[in-house]
Amino acid sequence: SGLSNANVSFLVTIPMVLSLIGFLIVGNSSSKRREKRYHVALPLFMGAIGLAGTVLIQDPVLNFVFINLAAIGVYSGMGVWWSIPTTFLSETAAAGAVGLINSIGNIGGWVGPFLIGIVKTYTGSYTIAYLCLAMSLVVSGLLILTLPKRRPTDSL
């Protein structure tokens, strides 16, 4: 790349610093507006655009912009995401849901890189794999929007 190790190290930190800022902004906005679903779904859509852009755009500067967009989108709604189960589930059910979500996430952390490697091996490129990841963010965002806004009231 022609950059020094120090410059590369600096550039690598930028997406995470921007994600931290996004995390704080989205969390604060969600609390102020008392809204959670859109504060998770919209960043996921932004992350999908970022991931797709990283493989579809060949310009290095724009590619770096899309990498940042992907990181901000994936991480900024995460804090709000973990608070969603308690909005429409009982405490016991929410605890079980959080455990299930964590378990599925851990399985995905193992299976995902494995599948990306398989796709790369068969296609010779990461493009299809990254576009599949982008689509999974879109599907996740759409599923979030189908969740109830609040816990249904018990009526007998």
Which of 106, 112, 103, 154 shows the shortest CA–CA distance to 136?
A: 112
Residue 156 lies in a domain: no
Residue 33 lies in a domain: yes
Residue 56 lies in a domain: yes
pTM beyond 0.85: yes
Residue 152 lies in a domain: no
With vertex at residue 133, the alpha carbon angle to CA 13 and CA 31, rounded to the nearest 5 degrees, is 65
Whether the predicted pLDDT of 155 surpasses 80: no
Q: What is the mean pLDDT of the chain?
A: 93
Residue 90 lies in a domain: yes
Residues spanned by the domain of 21: 5-146
Give the pLDDT confidence of 122-132 residue by residue, as tens digits: 999 999 999 99
Give the pLDDT confidence of 67-118 residue by residue, as tens digits: 999 999 999 999 999 999 888 888 899 999 999 999 999 999 999 999 999 9
